[in-house]
Amino acid sequence: MRPAPRSMGDTAQVPFSAPARTADRTGSGSSASGLFLVTAAVALFGFAYGADSYAAGNGVLRPVLASALIQGGASQIAAAGVLKTGGPAVVAILVGLALNLRFMALGLVIASDLPTGRLRRLLSAHLVSDLPVGMAITERPAHRARLFFVVGFALWGAWVGGTLLGAIAGSTFNVSVLGADGAITASFVALAVEQIAGRRAAVVAAVAFAVTAVLLVWASGVAVLGGALAGLITERFLRVKPEAVT
């Protein structure tokens, strides 16, 4: 667990530092089973996406290139959904980009841990996604880059490889049978719980969850974004208030 953002009086706190009780965790052995499972689950989703995309008449090359170059499952599926229902290309692009706006935030989160050099940082940025960043920031800063690349490459490979196999197999495949979606959701729950330390953080998390849930009803494309924004505002409010008193 990370400390609540801005625990009072802890001014010497290193940004993103892990508290002492988890400081001995290196993530090498302990996360290995988690990494394997999440890779398998992502590969299954890739397979389902590839099969669906092939069935929609996109051939093999296009879904594989989409997975390799976009590397954002939710946005690919949402954009495909817009096109499938006869929506214009502009809307498909906008919905996809709205879903991927959180990657800008996650790119900022991991920015200070990435290697130097413009090209290397650009290529590293391509791996930015929910799980690589979320898993990496549970580590001490010195271990973050390594875990980010391990998870990032594993999931990119699983997503692209799964898409390729699905497009080749061409038969639609219901991932929900195996509970693979439950595994992915569980990984998000685990990443969220990692961030919750203390009552204030729990309030922020609850607000982010609730606002997203409400937005999903009529603005699903920007629900995560709106929920995260509401969480940020809540965090700001809860953080600033006690300071103003002192």
Partner 1 sequence: MSWTVLVVLAAGTLTLKAIGPLLFARRPLPPSLEETVRALPLAIYPALVASATLSSDGGTSAVERLISAGAVLVLLILVRNKNMFGVAMIVGAAVTALIRFLTG
- Residues numbered 49 to 88 that lie near partner 1 (CB under 8 A) are 53, 58, 62-63, 65-66, 69-72, 74-76, 79-80, 83
Q: In the complex, what is the shortest distance from the CB of residue 19 to partner 1, in angstroms, rounded to a whole number?
A: 10
Site for partner 1 in 133-172 (CB under 8 A): 133-135, 137
Within positions 202 to 241, which residues make up the interface with partner 1, using CB under 8 A? 204-206, 208-213, 216, 220, 223-225, 227-232, 235-236, 239
Q: Exactly one of 42, 43, 51, 128 binds partner 1 (CB under 8 A); which one?
A: 128
Q: Which of 8, 23, 122, 219 binds partner 1 (CB under 8 A)?
A: 122
Instruction: Supply 190's token pair.
Output: 């685990």
* DSSP characters over 44-87: HHHHHHHHHHIIIIITTHHHHHHHHHH--HHHHHHHHHHHHTT-
Binding residue (CB under 8 A) for partner 1 from 169, 170, 171, 185: 185
Q: Minimum Å distance from CB 1 to partner 1?
A: 7
Q: Which of 9, 21, 142, 218 binds partner 1 (CB under 8 A)?
A: 21
* Measured distance CA(152)–CA(124) in Å, rounded: 9
Selected from 176, 199, 241, 242, the binder of partner 1 by CB under 8 A is: 176
Q: Which is nearer to partner 1, 28 or 169 (CB)?
A: 28
Helix intervals (H) in the chain: 32-53, 61-70, 73-84, 89-110, 118-126, 130-136, 141-169, 180-195, 199-218, 223-245
Query: DSSP secondary-structure letter at 19?
Result: P
Residue 187 belongs to what H/E stretch? helix 180-195
Q: How far is the CB of 161 from partner 1 (least distance, A)?
A: 18
Q: Kindly report the CA angle at 194 between 31 and 109, in degrees rounded to 5? A: 90
30: nearest Cα among 162, 143, 109, 149:
143
Q: How far apart are CA 127 and CA 10, in angstroms?
A: 33
Count residues contacting partner 1 (CB under 8 A)?
113
Nearer to partner 1, 171 or 176 (CB): 176
Binding mask 82-121 for partner 1 (x = CB under 8 A): -x-----x--xx--xx--xxxxxxxxxxxxx-x-xxx--x
